[in-house]
Structure 1
Amino acid sequence: MLVGFGVAIVLAYWLPRFVSGREPAASALLIVLGWALFGWMPGLSETISPLGAPKAWETTSELCLIMGLFGVGLRIDSLTGKGRWAPTVRLLAIAMPLTILGVALLGWQAGGMTLVGALLLGAVLAPTDPVLAGDVQVGRPTEGGEHPVRYTLTTEAGLNDGLAFPFVHLALAIAGAGALTLGLAGEWLWRDVLYRIIVGALGGLVVGWLLGKVLFEYPRKNALAETEAGVFALAGVFVAYGATELLEGYGFIAAFVAGLRLRRSESGHAFHVRLHDFSESVEHALTSILLIGFGAAMPALLAALDLQGALIGLALIFVLRPLAGWVSLHGTALRGRERFVVAAYGVRGVGSIYYLAYAGSHLELTNEAQLWAIIAFTILASTMIHGFTAAFAVERATGEKQSD
């Protein structure tokens, strides 16, 4: 097993370098290599499948996400600028709900799912991934040059994992109650939408501010930042996420906002690069293991896939997300190719694994095998399609050159 994992990781990052100086296809290769190396072992796929052990997948993907979200927050050098956040807000407020609605309708009408199962499918597939979309995001801290295309894709990925959570909670609440009532809708609005989002944002702001004080200011002449120990990134993530979850807020929002707020403390300090690199290293290690395991589970996950399920996944990638994104970006400063790239390149990945594992560990799902089959197929297709084309598409849209 150890040899297989090691070989898969090396090959996934090594093989793309024969074509490119970067590793845009590593995520897809990790899944495929996990499938090739372990998927044939009798009984292994069924044993490790999230259908039977959702809690392990929930916990691992949760750790991947919070490390990725914190690192994404640290990446953003500037928060100001005319219209800079307008595309992000539109993607979150317009494109994401439209995507959820579109996928839910397809799941209900074409996939034959229950309304709850279809709504859950839409919520699970709605968020773009902060972990697997590094190739289309802004660079490391202090590098500057944050093109609007990269900036929008980065900030969207940083926020929409937390903002998709209310819709997951809505699906679970309806499933538990048996019907959507006015009372349930009202409780969902004040608790799952308003309270948890606000607490998530405030939790991230407070922890990010405190961490900035601890790392850079006290004691001023012997600050922790001088140690260059990147493990403080791990500590910051744990505190921001854990404290917010204890208050029933959205920890994903807190992890991103904490990184964003910490980045404002001594913003030009080189220690931010160290923190980012450490969090990225932990994220890459966890994600590599997760995706190889996901590939190994593919035979069990795809057993329930039918033509309708595959078409739902492809419709999301090629029609629903691009169309919803294109419509939502109308009136922004993004034009032509820029608008298309932002609309089309919403990678699906670890976030979808987490949300469905979370739902499966909290409720007995009627369409669970079908849901996992569609999710698995969509993630595989998204990582392959977006992974092999993202670098080229973003460079054409931004006018940047790929570095070796």
Structure 2
Amino acid sequence: MLMVSWAPVGLRKTPLTLAIVCVLLGVAVFSLGWLGFDPDPRTWDTITERLTEVVVIISLMGAGLKLDRKVGWRSWNSTWRLLAIAMPLTILGVMALGLYGLGFSLAMALLLGASLAPTDPVLAADVQVGPPKSGDEDEVRFGLTSEAGLNDSLAFPFVHLAILASVGGLATSAGWMDWVTVKVFWKLLAGAGIGWLVGKGLGWLIFASEKAGLSRLGDGLVALAATFIAYAVAEVAHGYGFLAVFVCGVTIRAWERDNDFHKEMHHFADQFERLLIMLLLVLFGGALANGLLSSLTWTDAAIGLAILLIVRPVAGVIAMIGSPHPFRDRLLMAFLGIRGIGSVYYVAYGINHGEFGSSERLWAILGFVILASIVIHGVTANPLLERLRRWRSVD
């Protein structure tokens, strides 16, 4: 808790980030053998799925609440481009590397592609917009925040497709019909619809009036309640809970957009999220210390770097062709596609619900990509965004 509160200030003038420090702390603590358990996600697959699930949905609520910009076709142009073009291209690129570079089966290559395609809403906090009404919402930060809020749920159909492939369902018309009608159409529709309805209902409850509304209580815990309500209702209806939570957050934000209670809710969600993130990163460091990368080869590492430094940036640049924004903005949005906790969730979910066989190498590649993203993006993000700010001030 002290690290979460103080470290960002102390690290401001160093190339380190809090995420890097927490991973190093986890490596140090678990290397010394002070704790009597191994936090390897391959051993604790169900707990890994649940822990990462909780962190992601809280992060999605925070992302929805802090977006000042109203939803619109033109105002969210960068978002639609990143979702409709960059994300499918990234899935295809990573899947091709998995098939031909790593020798994975089609099912495992598709799971790797679907898991590593989304920009992480959790570890990407440093490149996202600021708190509500802070004014810290340039096009790069907005594009990355809104993309991260939506692409986690949009990756889910491809995770289900990988699961279907793992059990041989791609050869049956029934498998394809279920995937199209349920995993794609219904789950996306139910997630978005329920998120909107719950957001409308809670928005009315929170801001109905100064006397009756919950906003007068000034308790940011409401954000956590909204997160779990939206997620639970969507999951009961067999919709995508990730999508419901983000849509719920955006819908609540649309109610009395200038009300200061949005800041209170975002602040609480942000604090709770950061505590859980740091816990998971320490455990991630422990998994690294206990051999998560032991099956990694030099070829695997090279392909992992190619995913971060070639596949996503190229897909992002292609998606932004014809965009009205300056090339430097487009390039930064393409490069700063951080991979992290969401990818861990999807791999854990896929393995727990499919039949992929041995997953040690898959986990090793995933762990390497996340570690490389934490270091590369963590060290470069703030300097790049600061330089972009100075360029804009000169312009």
Whether these two folds match at TM > 0.5 is yes
CA distance in 1, matches of 2:173, 2:117: 25
Q: Which residue of structure 1 aligns with residue 11 of structure 2? A: 16
> Residue 375 and residue 12 in structure 1: after superposition, are their counterparts in 2 closer, same or farther (change >3 A)?
farther
Are 1:271 and 2:261 counterparts?
Answer: yes
Q: Secondary structure at the match of 2:211?
A: helix
Q: Which of 319, 335, 350 is residue 344 of structure 1 equivalent to?
A: 335
Q: Secondary structure at the match of 2:75?
A: coil
Q: Secondary structure at the match of 1:272?
A: helix
Q: Secondary structure at the match of 1:301?
A: coil
CA distance in 1, matches of 2:196, 2:391: 33
CA distance in 2, matches of 1:374, 1:353: 11
Give per-residue Cα distances to partners, 1:148-193, cap 9 Å, x unaligned.
1111111001000010011000000111235444432232111111
Give per-residue Cα distances to partners, 1:235-292, cap 9 Å, x unaligned.
0000000100111111001111111000011111111000000001110111111110
Are 1:65 and 2:60 counterparts?
Answer: no
What is the aligned length? 392
Q: Which of 282, 303, 306 is residue 294 of structure 2 equivalent to?
A: 303
Cα pair 2:4 2:275 within 8 Å, conserved: no
* Code of the aligned partner of 1:41: G
* Code of the aligned partner of 1:319: I
Shift of 1:13: 3.8
Deviates more, 1:190-199 or 1:236-245: 190-199
Unpaired runs of 5+ residues, structure 1, are 1-5
Q: Which residue of structure 2 aligns with residue 92 of structure 1? A: 83
Shift of 1:126: 0.7
Shift of 1:9: 5.5
CA distance in 1, matches of 2:101, 2:139: 36
Q: Which of 238, 241, 255 is residue 251 of structure 1 equivalent to?
A: 241
CA distance in 2, matches of 1:369, 1:43: 23
Are 1:136 and 2:131 counterparts?
Answer: no
Deviates more, 1:221-230 or 1:315-324: 221-230
CA distance in 2, matches of 1:13, 1:60: 24
CA distance in 1, matches of 2:73, 2:100: 42
Q: Describe how 1:2-401 pairs up with structure 2 within 5 A.
A: 13=8, 15-19=10-14, 25-41=17-33, 47-79=38-70, 83-177=74-168, 179-217=170-208, 220-298=210-288, 299-399=290-390
Cα pair 1:113 1:367 within 8 Å, conserved: no
Cα pair 1:215 1:223 within 8 Å, conserved: yes
Shift of 1:8: 6.7
> Residue 190 and residue 41 in structure 1: after superposition, are their counterparts in 2 closer, same or farther (change >3 A)?
same
Shift of 1:131: 1.0
Cα pair 1:158 1:256 within 8 Å, conserved: yes
Shift of 1:42: 8.5
Shift of 1:209: 0.7
Unpaired runs of 5+ residues, structure 2, are none
Give per-residue Cα distances to partners, 1:49-107, cap 9 Å, x unaligned.
11011111111111100100000000011215773212211111111111111111111
Cα pair 1:98 1:324 within 8 Å, conserved: yes
Cα pair 2:79 2:143 within 8 Å, conserved: yes
CA distance in 2, matches of 1:232, 1:179: 43
CA distance in 1, matches of 2:384, 2:171: 42
Q: Secondary structure at the match of 1:48?
A: coil
Q: Secondary structure at the match of 2:219?
A: coil
Aligned-residue CA RMSD (Å): 2.2
Give per-residue Cα distances to partners, 1:364-403, cap 9 Å, x unaligned.
432410111001000000011001111121232344899x
Q: TM-score, normalised by structure 2?
A: 0.94
* Code of the aligned partner of 1:33: L
> Residue 301 and residue 135 in structure 1: after superposition, are their counterparts in 2 closer, same or farther (change >3 A)?
same
> Residue 81 and residue 208 in structure 1: after superposition, are their counterparts in 2 closer, same or farther (change >3 A)?
closer
CA distance in 1, matches of 2:136, 2:44: 43
> Residue 97 and residue 79 in structure 1: after superposition, are their counterparts in 2 closer, same or farther (change >3 A)?
same
Sequence identity, in percent? 42
Cα pair 1:84 1:148 within 8 Å, conserved: no
Deviates more, 1:142-151 or 1:340-349: 142-151
Cα pair 1:117 1:366 within 8 Å, conserved: no
CA distance in 2, matches of 1:43, 1:49: 13
Give per-residue Cα distances to partners, 1:102-144, cap 9 Å, x unaligned.
1111111111111111111111111111111111111111123
Cα pair 1:39 1:297 within 8 Å, conserved: no
Q: Secondary structure at the match of 1:221?
A: coil
Q: Secondary structure at the match of 1:112?
A: coil
* Code of the aligned partner of 2:111: L
Q: Secondary structure at the match of 1:50?
A: coil
